[in-house]
């Protein structure tokens, strides 16, 4: 428990949300009538994602990983390494692998996803904490970290990067499964803020996960940027930019996929004082999420609080065998 208290300063609030410190030949879905307009209001997302939309995230699981790992530091039985591996959409995925190397038995694995803006380094403290309780943790850098400019640019590339992220996260699962000390049947996902919202999409696509914690998540980028807190920013975009961005992003909005997450157990943690994810948006996601799900609210802002960290730890202990709190 002392370790949890000492290390709770991990940046869980990095997001855009804010900072803390089809097959290619398939035609794109059309927006619902009335959405193809200059309105700054949230478009109609329609029904659940189709099989064709789910296929956008398919990749060759047998393709070479080309994993490169460089040990960076070792302390208290935990090795921190920088890693890179091949992305299904080209180039290399970079990140961190944090491994409790002194443990002799098979360990649970966790894919850890940072907020926006942020990098794998943003969640390094959280990764070390999880590793201190026995998990092998991989944290990757989002595709927007491989270029210059804004994290979200309201252009077609936002769609390509979101698709690439989900493929890269699937490859991160492949990396964990390639490790001799990871139990393939005990791999979980933890995503904070933007990482939580992308988990809403990732979990239904990645069927090898045993459990997923979605922390201060909403329904996705369109949901987020059409919320009341971003109305002025959305209004500053041209009509053509808004229409085109909605057309590109609505078909891959995470909340359209979440109904397919079952049977993966979900933990959804939200703050009643969150200025970045409204209570209404959190409740919309919670209602859309299928069973089995655990919903937890906290009298806290976007960074939540220590009780949320305790609850998440205890839930991961139950679901994937993370060591119990001390």
**Does any domain span residue 115?**
yes
Q: What is the pLDDT along the chain (326 residues), one digit of tens a residue?
A: 545 544 333 444 333 344 343 333 333 433 443 345 677 889 999 999 999 999 999 999 999 999 999 999 999 999 999 999 999 989 999 999 999 999 999 999 999 999 999 999 999 999 999 999 999 999 999 999 999 999 999 999 999 999 999 999 999 999 999 999 999 999 999 999 999 999 999 999 999 999 999 999 999 999 999 998 888 889 999 999 999 999 999 999 999 999 999 999 999 999 999 999 999 999 999 999 999 999 999 999 999 999 999 999 999 999 999 999 98
Picking from 179, 169, 74, the residue whose alpha carbon sits closest to that of residue 128 is 74
Whether 313 is covered by a domain: the verdict is: yes
The 3-state secondary structure of the chain, one letter per residue: CHHHHHCCCCCCCCCCCCCCCCCCCCCCCCCCCCCCCCCCCCCCCCCCCCHHHHHHHCCCCCCCCCCEEEEEEEECCEEEEEEEEECCCCCEEEEEEEECCCCCCCEEEEEEECCCCCCHHHHHHHHHHHHHCCCEEEEECCHHHHCCCCCCCCCHHHHHHHHHHHHHHHHHHHHHHHCCCEEEEEEEEEEECHHHHHHHHHHHHCCCCCEEEEECCCCCHHHHHCCHHHHHHHHCCCHHHHHHHHHHHHHHCHHHCHHHCCCCCEEEEEECCCCCCCHHHHHHHHHHCCCCEEEEEECCCCCCCHHHHHHHHHHHHHHHCCCCCC
In a domain, 27, yes or no: no
Confirm if 199 and 212 have CB atoms less than 8 A apart: yes
Q: Would you say residue 29 lies in a domain?
A: no
Q: Structurally, how many domains does the chain consist of? A: 1
CATH code, domain carrying 258: 3.40.50.1820
Look at residue 326 and tell me if it is in a domain.
no
Rounded CA-CA distance 120/232 in Å is 30
Residue 53 lies in a domain: yes
Q: How far apart, in whole angstroms, are the C-alpha atoms of residue 105 and residue 107? A: 6
Q: Determine, yes or no, domain membership for 127.
A: yes
Domain hosting residue 311, numbered range = 2-18+46-320
User: Do the domain assignments include residue 325?
Assistant: no
């Amino acid at each position: 428990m002392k370790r949890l208290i000492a290390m709770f300063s991990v940046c869980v609030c990095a997001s855009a949300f804010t900072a803390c410190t089809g097959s290619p030949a398939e035609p794109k879905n059309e927006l619902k009538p009335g959405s193809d307009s200059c309105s700054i209001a949230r478009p109609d997302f329609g029904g659940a994602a189709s099989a064709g939309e789910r296929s956008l995230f398919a990749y060759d699981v047998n393709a070479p990983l080309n994993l490169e790992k460089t040990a960076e530091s070792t302390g208290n039985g935990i090795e921190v390494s920088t890693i890179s591996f091949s992305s299904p959409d080209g180039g290399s995925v970079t990140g961190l692998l944090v491994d409790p190397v002194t443990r002799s038995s098979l360990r649970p694995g966790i894919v850890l996803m940072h907020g926006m803006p942020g990098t794998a380094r943003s969640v390094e403290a959280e990764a070390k904490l999880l590793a201190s309780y026995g998990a092998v943790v991989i944290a990757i850098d989002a595709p927007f970290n491989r270029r210059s400019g804004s994290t979200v640019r309201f252009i077609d590339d936002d769609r390509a990067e979101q698709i690439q992220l989900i493929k890269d996260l699937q490859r991160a699962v492949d990396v964990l499964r390639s490790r001799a000390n990871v139990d393939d049947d005990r791999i979980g996902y933890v995503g904070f803020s933007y990482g939580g919202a992308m988990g809403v999409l990732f979990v239904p696509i990645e069927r090898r996960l045993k459990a997923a914690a979605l922390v201060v998540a909403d329904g996705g980028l369109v949901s987020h940027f059409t919320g009341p807190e971003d109305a002025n920013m959305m209004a500053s975009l041209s009509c053509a930019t808004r229409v085109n961005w909605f057309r590109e992003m609505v078909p891959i909005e995470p909340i359209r996929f979440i109904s397919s997450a079952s049977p993966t157990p979900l933990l959804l943690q939200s703050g009643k004082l969150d200025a970045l994810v409204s209570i209404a948006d959190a409740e919309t996601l919670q209602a859309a999420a299928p069973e089995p799900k655990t919903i937890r609210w906290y009298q806290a802002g976007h960074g939540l609080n220590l009780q949320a960290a305790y609850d998440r730890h205890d839930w991961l202990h139950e679901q994937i065998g993370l060591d119990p709190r001390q």
